[in-house]
């Protein structure tokens, strides 16, 4: 049970669920091919931008012969609102891409499009290396540690820095202030970018950025305790049914006809080979629903109604108390997998095993070691986390061992308040407490310029989404504060810029 619980989360961490494109970018491709890749937005995209490719350096940190190789890094640009006048160019808002296709992040970061007109800002979304179409070795990028070795957060931050400098030069916008934005892992990158490259970005909005989910800064049980709290807050019965269902599931694995019965109950497309795929399928439904417990209908990882945790618990509570627990939890999970009402059957085994080696899996096995375990009080089966076991697993998969303390060495995190109140400025850490990642985020103000904007009912970077008519007041207020603080950064920059010149 133990090992699976943890590696499972990493495999599906945040949102690796959506498909990534398979366009292959060889390291060197000719200029003509480059041109043909410059395309405008695809038909499915909700947000307006132009897609471009930047010849990016493969290895920013060594001077070996192969370090100067390049790959094509995708970025999206929208200049509809930009004040590009000769004297007072408006600010540049950059989204620091995370583990996925950048167009998908642009579509889910409506906040930038909402505020661009007011700030007369240029919008740029930069894809993270090794994701989407920015794969340095094309189809072979995930093949082995030889290629994946170039996938690190430090390389990604350096990519952003190099690209931003080039872009500003090309646009004759050297004086324009840059503000970086990001959500989730992208939020971590935004915050770290401000700390590492203060000469390039004047500030960062880091939404749902669990930069404290490393070492033992945050209790290892906090993530799953937070998921459990969401369900318990919705209904105690709901929490107890889910908590009790895992044993029932395991019990079936020892019964003769157990898997057949389970396959029927869970309406699987194929007969289940083990109860573990059912367990993982349920597990991810609960974790992701807690993460995206948004106050409005949304389609982030899956289409879901407003406040989906409450909806799931309503389904569970709607059954007679004596009804089969597995039927109850199956029905609840169906809300996550079948809100669109289009699923004929559920492909459980494929849903949990199909991903193979992914970029995030590699990151989790190298730098991004976030220890997590389940306490006795959580609604998941109790588990522990063991560095050695985790490392052995990574060794088997990739032939490398994690450096579990590298992130806190490189970016800090321990005693963050004492450190950052004396060093660093202009970072907003925004969080919603319904989001289990909030436990590893910065939830307290550090100084007058490194602030935490925390909402009790918020979920995973809900503030970065497009504004909608149904937005509750707490969300409107959170975004208003964010705009106000960003405006202050720009005003201060303007003032000092005028003074120093």
Ligand X SMILES: *[C@@H]1O[C@H](CO)[C@@H](O)[C@H](O)[C@H]1NC(C)=O
> Please, which residue, 406 or 474, has the CB nearer to ligand X?
474
Question: Which residue in 130, 150, 143 sits closest to 16, CA to CA?
Answer: 130
Q: Is 346 in the site for ligand X (CB under 6 A)?
A: yes
Using the contact rule CB under 6 A, the part of the chain among 25-33, 86-94, 272-280, 288-296 near ligand X is 86-94
Among 90, 97, 100, 203, binds ligand X (CB under 6 A): 90
- Find the shortest distance in angstroms from Cβ 22 to ligand X: 13
Beta strands in 79-167 (DSSP E): 92-96, 122-126
Q: Is 20 in the site for ligand X (CB under 6 A)?
A: no
Among 237, 310, 408, 494, binds ligand X (CB under 6 A): 494
Q: Is 354 in the site for ligand X (CB under 6 A)?
A: yes
Find out whether 78 and 109 touch, Cβ atoms under 8 Å.
Answer: no
Q: Is 382 in the site for ligand X (CB under 6 A)?
A: yes
Question: Which residue in 396, 412, 406, 416 sits closest to 363, CA to CA?
Answer: 406
Catalytic hit among 225, 230, 435, 463 = 435
Q: How big is the site for ligand X, counted in residues (CB under 6 A)?
A: 34
Among 112, 151, 157, 167, binds ligand X (CB under 6 A): 167
Other C-beta atoms within 10 Å of 335: how many? 19
Q: Is 321 helix (H, G, I), strand (E, B) or coil?
A: coil
Separation of alpha carbons 399 and 420, rounded Å? 36
> Please, which residue, 23 or 452, has the CB nearer to ligand X?
452
- Find the shortest distance in angstroms from Cβ 117 to ligand X: 11
Among 20, 235, 338, 408, binds ligand X (CB under 6 A): 338
- Find the shortest distance in angstroms from Cβ 485 to ligand X: 7
Separation of alpha carbons 304 and 289, rounded Å? 8
Find out whether 453 and 429 touch, Cβ atoms under 8 Å.
Answer: yes
Angular region, 239: left φ>0, alpha ψ -120 to 50, beta rest = alpha
In the residue annotation, 460 being an active-site residue is answered as yes
Q: Is 490 in the site for ligand X (CB under 6 A)?
A: yes
Beta strands in 193-304 (DSSP E): 203-207, 298-299, 303-304
Sign of CA dihedral 470, 473, 474, 480: positive
* Binding residues vs ligand X (CB under 6 A): 52, 54-55, 83, 88, 90-91, 119-120, 163, 166-167, 170, 267, 334, 338, 341, 343, 345-346, 350, 354, 376, 382, 444-445, 451-454, 481, 490, 494, 498
Provide the annotated active-site residues: 184, 435, 460
């Amino acid at each position: 049970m133990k090992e699976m619980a943890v590696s499972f989360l990493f495999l599906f961490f945040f949102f690796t669920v959506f498909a990534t494109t398979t366009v292959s970018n060889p390291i060197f491709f000719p200029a003509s091919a480059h041109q043909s890749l410059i395309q405008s937005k695809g038909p499915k995209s909700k947000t307006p931008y132009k897609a471009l490719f930047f010849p990016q350096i493969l290895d920013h940190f060594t001077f070996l012969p192969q370090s100067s190789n390049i790959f094509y890094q995708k970025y999206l640009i929208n200049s509809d609102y930009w004040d590009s006048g000769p004297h007072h160019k408006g600010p540049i808002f950059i989204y620091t891409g995370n583990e996925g296709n950048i167009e998908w992040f642009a579509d889910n970061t409506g906040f930038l499009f909402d505020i661009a007109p007011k700030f007369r800002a240029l919008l740029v979304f930069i894809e993270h290396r090794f994701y989407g179409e920015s794969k340095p070795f094309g189809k072979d990028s995930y093949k082995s540690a030889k290629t994946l070795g170039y996938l690190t957060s430090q390389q990604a931050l350096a990519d952003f820095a190099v690209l931003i400098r080039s872009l500003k030069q090309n646009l004759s916008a050297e004086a324009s202030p840059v503000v970086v934005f990001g959500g989730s892992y992208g939020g971590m990158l935004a915050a770290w970018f401000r700390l590492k490259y203060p000469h390039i970005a004047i500030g960062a909005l880091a939404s749902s950025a669990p930069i404290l989910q490393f070492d033992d800064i945050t209790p290892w049980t906090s993530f799953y305790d937070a998921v459990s709290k969401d369900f318990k807050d919705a209904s105690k019965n709901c929490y107890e049914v889910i908590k009790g269902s895992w044993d029932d599931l395991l019990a079936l694995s020892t019964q003769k006809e157990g898997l057949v019965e389970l396959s029927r109950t869970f309406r699987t497309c194929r007969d289940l080979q083990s109860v573990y795929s059912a367990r993982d399928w349920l597990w991810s439904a609960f974790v992701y629903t807690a993460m995206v417990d948004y106050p409005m209908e949304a389609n982030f990882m899956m289409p879901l109604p407003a406040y989906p945790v409450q909806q799931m618990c309503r389904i569970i509570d709607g059954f007679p108390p004596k009804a089969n627990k597995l039927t109850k939890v199956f029905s609840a999970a169906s809300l996550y997998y079948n809100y669109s009402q289009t699923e004929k059957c559920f492909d459980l085994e494929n849903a949990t095993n199909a991903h193979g080696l992914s970029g995030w899996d590699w990151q989790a096995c190298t730098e991004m070691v976030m220890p997590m375990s389940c306490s006795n009080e959580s609604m998941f089966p109790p588990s522990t986390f063991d560095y050695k076991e985790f490392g052995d697993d990574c060794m088997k998969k990739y032939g490398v061992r994690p450096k579990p303390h590298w992130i806190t060495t490189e970016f800090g995190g321990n005693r963050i308040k004492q450190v950052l109140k004396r060093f660093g400025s202009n970072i907003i850490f925004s969080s919603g407490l319904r989001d289990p990642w909030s436990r590893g985020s910065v939830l307290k103000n550090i100084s007058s310029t490194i602030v935490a904007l925390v909402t009790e009912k918020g979920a995973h970077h809900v503030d970065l989404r497009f504004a909608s008519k149904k937005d509750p007041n707490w969300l409107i207020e959170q975004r208003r504060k964010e705009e106000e603080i960003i405006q202050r950064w720009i005003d201060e920059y303007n003032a000092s810029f005028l003074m120093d010149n």
